[in-house]
A and B are shown apart, each in its own frame.
Chain A
Amino acid sequence: MLALIARRLLQTLTIVAVVCTATFALLHAAPGDPVDAMTADPRMTAAVRAHERARLGLDQPLAVQYVRYVAATARGDLGWSLTSNRPVAEAFAETVPRTLLLMGVALILSFAIGIALGVAQAMRRHSWFDRVAGLVSTICWSIPEFWLALMVLLLFSVELGVLPSGGMRDITTYEFASPLGRVWDVARHLLLPASTLAILSAAGIARFQRGAMMDVMREDYVRTARAKGLDERSVMLRHVLRNALLPIVTLVGLYFPALLGGSVFVERIFSWPGMGELTLRAIGSRDYPVVLASVMIGTVLVCAGSLLADLLMRWVNPRLRSA
């Protein structure tokens, strides 16, 4: 197990290095730079821009900028955000936990909903419920996340007024609330963005789960269980579901990057102050240090998700452990 983790860490380092180098090259190849992205102010003359470029080190040859970037990153210095005027590490130290909270809740919700729906469909296979649930899953799977986010926002916040429309907590009351009240406040603000992400992912998971259940149901040991006289519920839950969960576990690793990508738009619509929102703003203003750090952290998170899926697989499947 330790050897696996060490090997995967080494792979992660290589992947991060390659991805960051490619991102660095692509960012600098794109037309425009952070100084070009500054305001529509006619006072921003070429002299001022040249001064700004020199101040930000953008006047140096690309190779020099790259070496400086690698050396700083190796020292743990992610640089200075050009748009928010603070250390990049500080910006991500604030935003990554918020994004992980959003993604974690969305991941739990999506697997809970997806597995439950997939099991229910498999247990009532070829019924009207199965067909309707399948259709709804397909529709949800096809909806763009930003559209769904806007619809959810309009319905639950504007029309019904039952949930907050944005932010991570109530601006006015949060700081006066009790610890429990604060948790409740964050949970209320989390519900819409996390549900939006979860609905989209759950649709796919439900289809996988249903398919896995149908495959396992054809196995000999299931037939044997039925022949022993076990009731259908016991067969499904004890024999079919436990074995059908194995392929679903691998989805944790696959859904992690998908959720990370989806959270960018969802964070924007719901004003969730996370990493996605920070990155989107940085891309628009060519904030190179933030974009590079975001790509690096995103890559690490995706690799961590993949490693987590591998470890979970080994935990739930003894055959892999012995192998």
Chain B
Amino acid sequence: MTCTRSLALFVIAAGAACAGDRGTDTAATGGTVIIAASADADALFPPIATSQDALAVIDMVYDRLADPDSIFNPIGTADFTHALADGWSWSPDSLSLAFHIDPRARWHDGPRVTPSDVRFSYAVYADTAIGGSVSEALTNIDSVTVRDSATAVVWLKRKSPHAFYDATYQLRIMPEHVWRGTPHAEMARSPLARTPIGSGRFRFRRWEAGSLIEIVADTLNYRGRPSLDRVTWSITSDPAARLARLLAGEVDLSPYLRAEQAAQLSGKPTLTTLRQRPIQVNYLLFNLRDPAHPTKPHPVLGDRATRVAITMAVDNSALIRSVFNSAAMPMLGPLPRSVMRADTGVRPIGFDHAKAIAALDAAGWRLAPGDSVRRKGGVPLHFSVLVPSSSSSRRQLAVVLQGMLKPSAIQLVIDELDPSAMAARLRAKKFDAGFVIWNVDPLPITLRQLWSSKSAGTDGTNYGSYVNASLDAAIDSADTSAGPRGSERWRGVYQTLIDDAPALYLFEPPVIHGIHRRIHAVGTRPDAYWAGLANWSIPPAERIARDRVGLRTAAR
């Protein structure tokens, strides 16, 4: 009877939500946040999940050994906070890290978290039979052993300034007792992969495929109960519909708004924006090899002087302003500013039309009277650019860029392609130039994957085939150097990548989320707007009816 009455009262209270009334609850904790997710999660199994929303859920349900704080500095340990490990110590040779597991830590189904779970998690992550690309990020970990009932030891292959990050960032600790008996190759397809059990401050509650994913507060969590009661990701694929749902008050957070969408929030008293530092590189990649004859240099872009002249002919600031207004920032070099050692002291190739013309003339590209395109030995100064048809901003950028190069008599042809078709063309190196986006780790060593000679082979991601042996050596040298010497060496790497112009470094995109004002969002990180979700709160006086649902679940 009591249960029925409380449910009836709840339904009445929930009905009042439509009227948007404010409640009178005074509890310090409470509240519901509904997030408009752009796509359903691909998986809730940490080693293979890649979609942003899946990673958000995983980060809330599972724990790392240590978490990077909002500075997101991967060097050293100063900018990491305790998570599953309540302490750690380095071996004298800096080749192993002992993590002491918090004795209070419990899995959501009851058992204590043990060092054996850490060893098990590493074994799963490192096994390529699982699938996914995370194993590539764990290559500096040699093994994980259990020292005693409270200590796991991570053994590293080599010393590195970012060894602590290598050992902790990718690895979410999973419960061995839950997965015992499931072969690694079958884990991703196991029903357990859809009902995660972790030790994080939120528990998984439900996943209705295509509709929603919900997590609720773990009230007895060893790190403290989260302020919010529940967080729900409501799948809303269409960007315009996501904004409409935010404006209609049906969702509280619409992540990754376009710049023009963010502008629509101004003047809405209940909504505001949450900004995040970007950790993405956006550039126009030049193919330095001839796509038709890969052994030969590209007839236009294979020449460094020509690439530098093209770079000088582009007013990057104006180009970006034309699409993003003031929301995006021009890239200073090959990495975003938020990568801690991306040095702002480097000298970019600036826009200078007169110098660009002179450089093109000097490189042998002459403009004949009456001709609209420069030529050298009969070859026109002409190249095509691959543009993903799914990105309206890149399509606009391509058109503006085409116009910018025209006064210098450089002909640009826009080749719009479906994203996966474009990816296939890039990997096959069948292109002249292309708009490329990479979500990068906060480490300069990412440049090895993007620009090293080794990556220029058929199995690498250096699609433009930029090869520079001295750069390879400089990257190796910088990666093993710490302190001011390391910074100086990285600065040299950045400057080489600017001066050789293997790409036109474009912009750091605006990362703007629309959010309801009643939510006090704290602790965003460049890689995760949700990083501080367990500490987000809604003051009692500002709660609306759906915030008062609490942790109740319907009788089934």
Most central of A158, A173, A175, A280 by chain B CB within 10 Å: A173
B427 touches A271 (CB 8 A): no
Among the stretches B100-108, B454-462, B464-472, B499-507, the one at the interface with A is: B454-462
Stretch at the interface among B65-73, B240-248, B318-326, B349-357: B240-248
Q: Which residues of B contact A86 (CB under 8 A)?
A: 194, 209
On whether the beta carbons of A173 and B131 are closer than 8 Å, the reply is no
- Bound CA–CA A264/B10 (angstroms): 35
Docked pose: A55 CA to B129 CA in angstroms: 8
Q: A37 vs B51: C-alpha distance in the bound complex, in angstroms?
A: 12
Q: In the complex, how many angstroms separate the beta carbon of A270 from the nearest chain B beta carbon?
A: 7
Listed stretches A40-48, A119-127, A313-321; interface member: A40-48
- The distance from the CB of A290 to the nearest CB of chain B, in whole angstroms, is 12
CB of B232 closer than 8 Å to a CB of A = yes
Q: How far is the CB of A98 from chain B (nearest CB, A)?
A: 9
Quick check: A271 and B234 within 8 Å, CB to CB?
Answer: yes
Q: How near does chain A come to B13, taking the closest CB pair, in angstroms?
A: 9
Question: Given known contacts A38-B50, A154-B244, A281-B40, is B11 in contact with A84 (CB within 8 Å)?
Answer: no
**Cβ contact within 8 Å between B424 and A80:** no
Residues of A with C-beta under 8 A to B364: none
Contact, CB under 8 Å: B424 / A32: yes
Do residues A173 and B42 form an inter-chain contact, with CB atoms below 8 A?
no
Q: Any chain A CB within 8 A of the CB of B142?
A: no
CA distance A172 to B214 in the complex (A): 10
Residues of B within 8 A of A84 (CB): 40-42, 209
**Contact A43 to B210, CB < 8 A, known contacts A31-B421, A84-B40:** no
Pick from A65-73, A162-170, A202-210 the stretch touching chain B.
A162-170
Give the chain A neighbours of B136 by CB distance below 8 A. 43-45, 48
Given contacts A45-B136, A48-B136, A158-B248, contact A168 B17 (CB under 8 A): no
> What mask results when residues 141 to 182 of chain A are scored 1 for a CB within 8 Å of chain B, else 0?
000000000100110011001001111101111011110010
Please, which residues of chain A bring their CB within 8 A of the CB of B422?
32
Complex alpha-carbon distance, A161 and B247, angstroms? 10
Instruction: Note all chain A residues with C-beta closer than 8 A to B43.
Output: 85
- In the assembled complex, which residues on chain A have CB atoms less than 8 Å from the CB atom of B135? 48
Contact A45 B554 (CB under 8 A): no
Q: Are A277 and B449 in contact (CB under 8 A)?
A: no
The one of A36, A48, A177 in contact with B424, judged by C-beta atoms closer than 8 angstroms, is: A36
Q: Contact at B42–A281, with CB atoms within 8 Å?
A: no
| A contact residues around B194 at 8 Å (CB) | 85-86
B420 lies within 8 A of A269 (CB): no
Question: What residues of B have a CB within 8 angstroms of the CB of A91 in the complex?
Answer: 209-210
Task: Indicate whether B150 reaches chain A with its CB closer than 8 angstroms.
Answer: no
- Choose one: B133, B189, B438, B461; the contact of A80 (CB below 8 Å): B189
Closest chain B residue to A98, Cβ basis:
B210
B439 at the interface (CB under 8 A from A): yes
B454-509 interface with A by 8 A CB criterion:
458-461
Q: Closest approach, in angstroms, between the C-beta of A59 and any C-beta of chain B?
A: 14
Residues of A within 8 A of B238 (CB): 268-269, 271
Instruction: Give the residues in chain A near B284, CB-CB below 8 Å.
Output: none
Whether A176 touches B14, Cβ cut-off 8 Å, given contacts A84-B40, A271-B236, is: yes
* Residues of B contacting A285 in the complex (Cβ-Cβ under 8 angstroms): 420
Q: From residue B437, how far is it (CB to closest CB) to chain A in Å?
A: 5
Instruction: Tell me whether B419 and A37 are in contact (CB under 8 A).
Output: yes
A273 interfacial contact with B, CB 8 Å: yes
A94, A166, A167 interface centre (most CB from chain B within 10 Å): A166
Q: Does B174 contact A (CB under 8 A)?
A: no
Closest A residue to B51 by beta carbon equals A39
A243 CB within 8 Å of chain B: no
Nearest B residue to A83, CB-CB = B42
CB nearest to B7 among chain A residues: A176
A176 with B554, Cβ < 8 A, contacts A86-B194, A166-B241, A277-B210 known:
yes
Chain B CB within 10 Å, residue with most, of A41, A46, A94, A178? A41
Asked if B461 and A44 sit within 8 Å, CB to CB, the answer is yes
By a CB distance below 8 angstroms, the chain A residues around B50 are 38-39, 41
A33 beta carbon closer than 8 Å to chain B: yes
**B42-64 CB contact bits vs A (8 Å, 1 = yes)?**
11010010100000000000000
- A310 CB–B CB distance under 8 Å: no
Query: What A residues does B193 contact at CB under 8 A?
Result: 85
Determine the distance from Cα of A281 to Cα of B212 in the docked complex, in whole angstroms: 16
Contact check, A176 vs B11: say whether CB atoms are below 8 A apart. yes
- Contact residues in B for A178 (Cβ distance below 8 Å): 11
CA–CA, A170 and B232, complex, Å: 12
Cβ–Cβ contact A171 & B232, under 8 A: yes
Residues of chain B contacted by A130 (CB below 8 angstroms): none
Binary CB contact string for chain B from 197 to 230 against chain A (1 if under 8 A, 0 otherwise): 0000000000011111010000000000000000
Could you jot down 17 A-B contacts, CB within 8 Å? Answer: A36-B427, A37-B423, A41-B133, A42-B461, A46-B459, A47-B459, A84-B41, A85-B45, A158-B248, A166-B245, A167-B250, A171-B234, A172-B549, A176-B554, A269-B241, A271-B236, A281-B39
Which residues of A approach B to under 8 Å, CB–CB? Answer: 30-33, 36-48, 51-52, 55, 80, 83-86, 91, 94-95, 150, 153-154, 157-158, 161, 164-168, 170-173, 175-178, 181, 268-271, 273, 277-278, 280-281, 284-286
In the complex, besides A85-B42, A171-B232, A176-B14, 18 extra interface pairs with C-beta distance below 8 angstroms are A37-B420, A37-B423, A39-B50, A44-B133, A44-B461, A45-B460, A51-B128, A95-B210, A150-B244, A158-B247, A161-B249, A171-B214, A173-B14, A176-B552, A178-B11, A271-B236, A273-B208, A286-B420
